[in-house]
Amino acid sequence: MTVNPNLSGKTTIAPDVLLTIARLTALSVPGVSRLSAIPGGVDRLFRRGDYEGVRIVIENNVVYMDLYVIIQHDMNVRDVSRTIQAQVSRAISEMVGMEVGRVNIHIEDIDCETHETA
């Protein structure tokens, strides 16, 4: 079987792919305990692009996102936020080739749970 190098087609990326990339990348950042629910009441249930701590809007093929996170109590908030922004932006750009216009980080809480060791 031979592949025609002149063959063209279209690749479509579902918004859920972007949400998953952003979510998994944010959770992999040291200091991130978990993602938070997106604040906003009942009307947020009817908005597209809201998913487990990540809100994404795509305008003119540019991705804008808000991430709602809970960080570990012993971490520097500014450093963790900047790391999330850089890594999520890089992941979206590299994995799907889309431009990222903005990554807003919302620190919703600090995880103060102590983990006892036996």
Confidence of residue 103 (pLDDT cuts 50, 70, 90): very high
CA 30 vs CA 21, 53, 61, 96: distances in Å:
16, 17, 30, 24
| Mean pLDDT (whole number) for 59-77 | 94
Give the model confidence (pLDDT) of 21-34 as tens digits.
Answer: 999 999 999 999 99
| Mean pLDDT (whole number) for 80-103 | 97
Q: What b-and-e string marks burial along 45-80, b requiring 16 or more CB atoms within 10 Å of the CB?
A: eeeebbbebbbbeeeeeebebbbbbebeeebeeeeb
Residue that wins the pLDDT comparison between 118 and 108:
108
State the Cα–Cα distance between residues 56 and 95, nearest whole angstrom: 16
Region 15-111: CATH code: 3.30.70.1350
pLDDT, mean over the chain: 86
Q: What is the pLDDT of residue 118?
A: 46
Do the beta carbons of residue 44 and residue 50 sit within 8 Å?
A: yes
